[in-house]
Amino acid sequence: MHGVELKSARELERMRRAGLIVWVAHRVVCHAIRPGCTTAQLNQLVERVLEAFGAEPLFLGVPGPAGPFPAVSCISVNEQLVHGIPGPRTLQDGDIVSVDIGCRFDGWCGDSAWTYPVGQIDARCQKLLEVTRRTLELALEELPRQQFWRPIARRMAQYVESQGFSVVREFSGHGIGRRMHEPPQVPNYVDRSLRLHDIRIVPGLVVAIEPMVNAGSRAVRMLPDGWTIVTADGQPCAHFEHTVARTDTGIWILTGAPQTPDEDAFVRPVLEKFVTESAD
């Protein structure tokens, strides 16, 4: 595969540390989200978690058409799909909030996004979140069974459309390693470019799989801030993402929960500190 850098077992172990830090940041955000909090407050929590680990935020300062991205996390509400800029917006009961977090630790990157409900959400938004999360789960289930990405992307798109929703095509998953974005691009649908340049799934491949699903039309547009992407029809949308490695024995969700005593020991002090603080 042209330009794709496969990772060794040792490199995956180092990427796992970055993934665990991202996992902790999401758990802290999940614990803190409630009606009345602002997106800036959530971003500040993420910033403090990364600082506690000594990790570098991946998004802060990324160049863009309207200047560098000004926050450590992307926080997108309701019709905002990706790249939302945290600020004074106060979350309301019934909102859905997509939080995208990435960091570099010891030279290696982790990247994960999750869409969270705020208070009680309506049935349509609940289904949207369930379908988008299930789309990611389908990809994870298929990854060790397939030799190429195309059949996985086809199944993801077919499932989303069978549920009455739309797959966003302007954005896709990506390879990841020492840099946040590496080859290959990992689309959530099938088109001619994927037929011509399919991704071979082999041990050592590490990708960020991130289905983005709209409740209405798949069309999106950018806001005047030069960053925030919203649905063109104003309907809600959802975004779920994991950094995942293909190994000799299956897959390893690098941004998943701790699985060993050593991993638990790595995350627990920081996780407990922030959860305790939010409870006080």
Assigned domain for 262 exists: yes
Residue-wise pLDDT tens digits, 21-50: 999 999 999 999 999 999 999 999 999 999
**Contact assessment for residue 198 and residue 51, using Cβ atoms and an 8 Å cutoff:** no
Instruction: Provide, rounded to the nearest whole percent, the portion of the chain with pLDDT above 70.
Output: 97
Q: pLDDT below 50 — which residues of the chain?
A: none
Closest listed residue to residue 134, CA positions, set 109, 162, 169: 162
Measured CA angle at 238 (ends 156, 278), to 5 deg? 130
- Would 193 be classed as within a structural domain? yes
Is 119 in contact with 93 (CB distance < 8 Å)?
Answer: yes
Residue 96 is assigned to a structural domain of this protein: yes
Residue 154 belongs to some domain of the structure: yes
- Tens digits of residue pLDDT in 185-200: 999 999 876 666 799 9
45: in domain = yes
**Secondary structure in 3-state letters for 5-32:** CCCCHHHHHHHHHHHHHHHHHHHHHHHH
Residue 84, number of CB atoms within 10 A of its CB: 27
Radius of gyration of the chain (CA): 18
Torsions phi, psi for 227 (to 5 deg)? -130, -55
Residue 2 lies in a domain: no
**Percent of the chain beyond pLDDT 90?**
94
Residue 271 domain boundaries:
9-279
CA–CA gap between residue 225 and residue 214 (Å, rounded)? 21
Quote the pLDDT of residue 3. 82
Residue 54 lies in a domain: yes
The pLDDT tens digits for 52-89 are 999 999 999 999 988 999 999 999 999 999 999 999 99
In a domain, 4, yes or no: no
Distance CA(67)–CA(54), nearest Å, equals: 26
Q: DSSP characters for the chain? A: -TT--PPPHHHHHHHHHHHHHHHHHHHHHHHH--TT-BHHHHHHHHHHHHHHHTPEESSTT---TTSS--SSEEEEETTEEE-PPP-SPBP-TT-EEEEEEEEEETTEEEEEEEEEE-SS--HHHHHHHHHHHHHHHHHHHHGGG-SBSHHHHHHHHHHHHHTT-EE--S--EEE-SSSSSEEEEE-SS--HHHHHSPPB--TT-EEEE--EEESS-S-EEE-TTSS-EEETT---EEE-BEEEEE-SSSEEETTS---SHHHHHHHHHHHHHHHHHHH-
Residue closest to 91 by CA, chosen among 31, 36, 26, 29: 36
Question: What CATH number did the domain enclosing 63 receive?
Answer: 3.90.230.10
Total tally of structural domains belonging to the chain? 1
pTM of the full predicted structure?
A: 0.96
